[in-house]
């Protein structure tokens, strides 16, 4: 079996059998498309003739192209998955990709907003209605209140909500369901938005909560555009991404004493180590606040 044939069979498998998200499938397709066209591989090469050294050269080639460590590690993960599939289905006698090591990923401190920044951004749609004020305020409040991923907010349906709008069931990564919660400001903003939506469109036959100005479901790209508009030059002039709401939610919860395992559950992290990176940020923030507040903190001028 050639590399190209193995990839095509594997992609059919992950699209039709395994419950992977469309984004994961697309990323895997792109990575493996790149893999088969590398100088050391080639689409016509027999996959059982690919050696570990060939795979290492592929990683080296990506490094020369100055790809990020995250991008390279995703590529390695896709190649490992391909070889694991081929070994399990008898296309390989030995899985050489098992010995392919990932590259070191430098730890990045997630970008989060201060309380003042969140308040300013959430109030923008009221004081500076650039697009659709009630919808946009509701969107920001719900993202901050729940810690949802932007894809989860885009997918959220009215039927997912409890009758009092206090919580909802969202489907996260790996098709795992979890409950998220909405505090008073978010519930109030949601109630006002849904009332406004009904005035605009009547009994709209669209199950998703957030819609565009034509009444169709709002996409992830659409949400990113809205946030860019309000945090860009026409708004706060302090650009943030949709994921910044999630980072801010996690940091605020931990800073205010929430248990890390509770935050893990609310964020839908499969590993607690992913959640624990926020404890590092919270600790740094507490030290900064301590130094500013304490009489001998050294920052009194």
Catalytic residue among 74, 91, 246, 247: 246
From the candidates 173, 178, 188, 285, which is the catalytic residue? 173
Q: Is 243 a residue of the active site?
A: yes
**DSSP designation for 159:** G
Q: What is the spatial distance between Cα 206 and Cα 159, in angstroms, rounded to a whole number?
A: 11
Q: Which of 85, 144, 230, 278 is catalytic?
A: 278
Is the distance from CB of 182 to CB of 126 less than 8 angstroms? Answer: no
- 173 belongs to the catalytic site: yes
User: Is residue 181 annotated as a catalytic residue, yes or no?
Assistant: no
Per-residue tokens: 146: 């729940």
Catalytic residue, chosen from 149, 187, 197, 247, is 149
Which residues have a Cβ under 8 Å from the Cβ of 255 and sit 6 or more positions away?
Answer: 282, 285, 286
3-state secondary structure (DSSP) of residue 226? helix
- Give me the helix-helix angle, 272-293 and 260-267, nearest 10°: 120
Angle at 217 between CA 215 and CA 220, to 5 degrees: 135
Instruction: List strand residue ranges (DSSP E) for 136-262, in order.
Output: 167-171, 177-181
Is residue 230 among the annotated active site residues? no
Q: Whats the size of the chain, residue-wise? A: 301
Look at the alpha carbons of 27, 32, 33, 37 in this order and tell me if their dihedral is positive or negative.
positive
Cα gap 136→123, rounded to integer Å: 10
Candidate list 157, 243, 277, 285, residue with the active-site label? 243
Please indicate whether residue 277 is annotated as part of the active site: no
List the catalytic residues: 149, 173, 243, 246, 269, 278
């Amino acid at each position: 079996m050639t590399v190209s044939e193995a990839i095509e069979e594997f992609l059919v498998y992950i699209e039709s059998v395994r419950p992977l998200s469309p984004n994961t499938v697309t990323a895997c397709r792109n990575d493996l498309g790149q893999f088969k066209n590398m100088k050391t591989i080639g689409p016509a090469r027999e996959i059982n003739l690919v050696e570990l050294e060939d795979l290492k050269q592929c990683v080296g080639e990506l490094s020369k192209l100055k790809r990020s460590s995250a991008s390279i590690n995703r590529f390695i993960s896709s190649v490992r998955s391909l070889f694991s599939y081929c070994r399990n289905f008898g296309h390989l006698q030995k899985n050489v990709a098992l010995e392919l090591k990932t590259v070191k990923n430098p730890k990045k401190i997630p970008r989060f907003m201060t309380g003042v920044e969140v308040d300013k951004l959430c109030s923008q749609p009221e004081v500076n209605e650039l697009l659709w004020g009630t919808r946009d305020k509701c969107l920001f409040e719900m993202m901050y209140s729940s810690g949802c991923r932007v894809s989860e907010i885009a997918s959220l349906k009215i039927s997912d909500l409890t009758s009092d709008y206090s919580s909802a069931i969202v489907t996260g990564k790996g098709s795992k369901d979890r409950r998220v919660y909405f505090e008073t400001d978010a519930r109030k903003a949601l109630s006002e938005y849904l009332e406004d939506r009904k005035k605009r469109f009547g009994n709209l036959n669209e199950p998703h909560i957030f819609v565009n100005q034509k009444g169709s479901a709002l996409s992830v790209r659409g949400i990113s555009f809205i946030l860019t508009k309000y945090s860009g030059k026409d708004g706060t002039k302090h650009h943030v991404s949709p994921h910044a709401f999630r980072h801010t939610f996690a940091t605020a919860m931990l800073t205010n004493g929430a248990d890390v395992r509770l935050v893990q559950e609310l964020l839908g992290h499969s590993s607690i180590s992913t959640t624990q990176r926020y404890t590092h940020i919270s600790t740094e923030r507490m030290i900064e606040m301590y130094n500013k507040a304490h009489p001998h903190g050294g920052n009194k001028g």
